[in-house]
Amino acid sequence: MQLTLQVTYRIGDSHRSRHYQSEESAKRGIYKWLLKNQQHADISASYFSAASGYQAFQDIEQLSDYAPKPSTNFYLSRAWQDLRYQVLNSREHRCALCHRSAAEHGIAVEVDHILPRSRYPDLALDINNLQILCYECNRGKRDK
Ligand SMILES: [Zn+2]
């Protein structure tokens, strides 16, 4: 027997239903549907599950935990981009180890976390935990 959950979507007097494999995926589906149809005044999505009983939703705020996750790519975040720019400019694009600079030596530099972000997430946006490294020095650091 396949367990599915039937969700009834209602806008005014019209109904339709969809089946989901789990309550979790039903809630994500409901969230998207509510978001798409929130201009309608009279909408609801409801289902019955053995675990939770009768559930009805009219507002995405009831399901904020099921919102699609925003992009979590740290290196694309505004905060990182701004900080990176600030570090590069305040330190003349100069490598902290070999002291060559992008302008004088035509090298590629990158902004590096002294204490790695994976183990020290709290220091990911701490300017004192950042250093400029050229490509070669950074590769040397990783190989160590
Ligand atoms: Zn260097």
Asked if 29 and 21 count as a contact pair (C-beta separation under 8 A), the reply is: no
CA neighbours within 13 Å on the CB side: how many for 21?
Answer: 1
Task: Let me know how many helices (H) and strands (E) the chain has, helices first.
Answer: 4, 6
**Span 74-122, pLDDT tens digits:** 888 899 999 999 999 999 999 999 999 989 999 999 999 999 998 998 9
What is the distance in A from the centroid of ligand 1 to the CA of 128?
18
Model confidence over 55-74: pLDDT tens digits?
A: 999 999 999 888 877 657 88
**Gap from CA of 16 to ligand 1 centroid (Å):** 63
Ligand 1 midpoint to CA 96 (Å): 7
Ligand 1 midpoint to CA 65 (Å) = 45
Backbone angles phi, psi at 117, to 5 degrees: -60, -35
Q: Compute, in angstroms, the gap from residue 74 CA to the centroid of ligand 1.
A: 24
Nearest one of 63, 116, 64, 107 to 88, comparing CA atoms? 107
**Cα–Cα distance between 41 and 105 in angstroms, integer?**
64
For residue 11, CA distances in Å to 36, 38, 63, 67 come to: 12, 10, 18, 21
pLDDT tens per residue across span 11-38: 999 999 999 999 999 999 999 999 999 8
